[in-house]
Amino acid sequence: MDIRTVHFTHATVVQVQALLLAFSALPIPSPQQLNGQWTIPLKRLSADFVASELGVPDTLASALFAELVERGYVDASGKPLSPAMALLGANNLPRIPRAEVDLIIADLVAAAGALNARPDARIKIASIELFGSALHIRDDYGDVDVRVVFDEADELQPDDLDEMDMVSERLQAVSDYVSMHSEYDHVALNTDKKSVFPA
């Protein structure tokens, strides 16, 4: 997505992108058991969150929330949809051809293999799944969306989260065009994906 082509009536695109970034940074709700099944409740965007995050009156926040719903960025319950995730990952980088996308994917796979081969690794990459525009043949691309699933040690130690951050940073360092999503990202969970690692 080219951020320069996106316009909103009730806020600037930069404000909406910052809003989505703040929303994505909210803690993931704790798992809940319902009818014997463990589920992770979805975070929901709301007009109240818009008002508090952007510091705007309730009427303007409600109008912007309604616009986001009308344009398909979130559903009526506040669940972010694919366009919201695309805007969240949008950047001002030049668009790239398919050949460069394929090189980035190959570099990600190589980096994941090297990270998993560390003799002292406690956190390994179980899979990398491609989704979004990179699943399709197009003239050019704005980013490469990937969902990363970790194979964690049986019992997490205090340093394991730091190691997970390090692994994520190494993958992200492959390219500025990589848009990484966690295994719990509900948009990535509920869309078409293609596994690229392990090969």
CATH assignment at residue 136: 3.30.70
> Which of 128, 149, 147 lies closest to 195 in space, CA to CA?
128
Percent of the chain exceeding pLDDT 90 equals 47
What is the distance between the alpha carbons of residues 21 and 88, in angstroms, rounded to a whole number? 6
* 188 and 108 belong to one structural domain: yes
Query: Quick count: other Cβ atoms within 10 Å of Cβ 81?
Result: 18
93 within some domain:
no
pLDDT higher than threshold 80 for residue 52: yes
The pair of three-digit structure tokens given for residue 37, joined into one six-digit string: 């099944």
Domain enclosing residue 117, as ranges: 98-197
What is the distance between the alpha carbons of residues 97 and 191, in angstroms, rounded to a whole number? 23
* 110 and 153 belong to one structural domain: yes
| Peptide bond between residue 83 and the one before it cis (omega within 30 degrees of 0) | no
CA angle 134, 136, 139 (to 5 degrees): 85
Strand ranges in 8-56 using DSSP code E only, listed in sequence order: 32-34, 37-39
* 159 and 117 belong to one structural domain: yes
Q: Indicate the pLDDT class of residue 112, thresholds 50, 70 and 90.
A: very high
> What CATH number is given to the structural domain containing 47?
1.10.10.10
- How many structural domains are present in the chain? 2
pLDDT higher than threshold 70 for residue 199: yes
Q: Which residue has the higher pLDDT, 137 or 190?
A: 137
* 29 and 66 belong to one structural domain: yes
Last residue of a domain, one of 67, 88, 109: 88
Q: Is residue 108 within 8 Å of residue 178, measured between CB atoms? A: yes
* 106 and 74 belong to one structural domain: no
* 188 and 166 belong to one structural domain: yes
35 within some domain:
yes
Q: Indicate the pLDDT class of residue 58, thresholds 50, 70 and 90.
A: very high
Min mean pLDDT across 18-27, 50-59, 63-72, 164-173 is at 18-27
Q: Is residue 176 within 8 Å of residue 184, measured between CB atoms? A: no
DSSP state of 33: E
What is the distance between the alpha carbons of residues 14 and 183, in angstroms, rounded to a whole number? 26
